[in-house]
Amino acid sequence: MSAGRAPARRAGTHARRLLAVLTAVVAIVGVLPGAAHARETRESVVGGTRAAQGEFPFMVRLSMGCGGALYSSRLVLTAAHCVGSTGTNTSITATLGVVDLQSSSRITVRSNYVYRAPGYNGNGKDWALIRLASPVTGLAALPIATTTAYNSGTFTVAGWGAAREGGAQQRYLLKATVPFVPDSTCDNSYPDLIPGEEICAGYASGGTDTCQGDSGGPMFRRDASNAWIQVGIVSWGNGCARPNYPGVYTEVSTFASAIASAAASLGG
């Protein structure tokens, strides 16, 4: 899997968008090195294996090419960079309940509203909620961490994004595990990391990561009761699964109260 990463952080909106496009082109052509600290949106899991049907019932695929997690029966938690501004939005289709996106048993629901994190400008605060037009039944939601207690250890990531840098989106859900990377180490790779808003995970040797198309999907682990809990949201990084460039995820616990308040305002 390899997650989608947003453009370089402090370059200004248009420069960041241009850098994201250039980085994507480079990744596809494969002839030039990527920008050292580019924030590129992620699309798939690199080094992953296929998930079993029903293994992660909260996983959501979004029609704009991002992932998400079922926060409640009517709300999907995803990345801010995956959506437009807050307001009515009926253009997004969520696919749920399957690992095979072409399965005849897939559930598809349209959106009717998007809530993007207040103040989001491409630097941190990379979370959003999508309200579905009708509730989804029979699928478990993914609780989010409300403290930093689970910001360590080994995490699971999953998505339908590219299985290699510059690769195509996947039909089947892939999963992988990645270890926590301390801020002090991650900052060596990403000097513009925002500690307290972002959390890093990955192997120093590379090889396993989220990638383009995984953006917005959850990074999760087992809690004290052995239940899944969401710790991060796939946000950005430099390429996919490159050595010494871990994935960067939105630190969910930092925004847990704001997410809960937004969810309440959306009726769910």
Please, which pLDDT band fits residue 268 given cuts at 50, 70 and 90? confident
Please, which pLDDT band fits residue 40 given cuts at 50, 70 and 90? low
2, 44, 72, 81: the catalytic one is 81
What is the predicted pLDDT for the residue at 1?
60
What is the predicted pLDDT for the residue at 217?
98
Domains and CATH numbers, the chain: 41-48+143-254 (2.40.10.10)
User: Is the model's pLDDT at 134 over the cut of 90?
Assistant: yes
What is the predicted pLDDT for the residue at 158?
96
Mean per-residue pLDDT, 211-227: 96
How much is the CA Rg of the chain, to the nearest whole Å?
16
Please, which pLDDT band fits residue 46 given cuts at 50, 70 and 90? confident
Q: What percent of the chain has pLDDT over 70?
A: 84
What is the predicted pLDDT for the residue at 230?
98
What is the predicted pLDDT for the residue at 252?
98
Task: Using alpha carbons, list the distances in angstroms from residue 162 to 42, 53, 165.
Answer: 8, 19, 7
Mean pLDDT of the chain: 87
Identify whether 126 is a catalytic site residue: yes
What is the predicted pLDDT for the residue at 160?
96
What is the predicted pLDDT for the residue at 27?
36
The DSSP code sequence of the chain is -EEEEPPPGGG-HHHHHHHHHHHHHHHHH--SPPPTT---EEEE-BT-EEPPTTSSTTEEEETTTEEEEESSSSEEEE-GGGS-SSEE----EEEES-SBTT-TT-EEEEEEEEEEPTT-SSSS---EEEEESS---S-----B-SSGGGSSSEEEEEESS-SSTT-PPPSB-EEEEEEEE-HHHHHHH-TT--BTTEEEE--TT---B-BBT-TT-EEEEE-TTS-EEEEEEEEE-SSSS-TT--EEEEEGGGGHHHHHHHHHHTT-
Which of these ranges, 22-36, 116-130, 160-174, 245-259, has the smallest mean pLDDT?
22-36
User: Is the model's pLDDT at 20 over the cut of 70?
Assistant: no
What is the predicted pLDDT for the residue at 45?
82
Identify whether 81 is a catalytic site residue: yes
What is the predicted pLDDT for the residue at 101?
97
Mean per-residue pLDDT, 125-145: 98
Per-residue pLDDT of 90-114, as tens digits, reads 999 999 999 999 999 999 999 999 9
44, 72, 126, 253: the catalytic one is 126
What is the predicted pLDDT for the residue at 166?
87
User: Is the model's pLDDT at 7 over the cut of 90?
Assistant: no
User: Is the model's pLDDT at 14 over the cut of 70?
Assistant: no
User: Is the model's pLDDT at 172 over the cut of 90?
Assistant: yes
Identify whether 183 is a catalytic site residue: no
Q: What percent of the chain has pLDDT over 90?
A: 79
User: Is the model's pLDDT at 6 over the cut of 60?
Assistant: no
2, 72, 215, 235: the catalytic one is 215
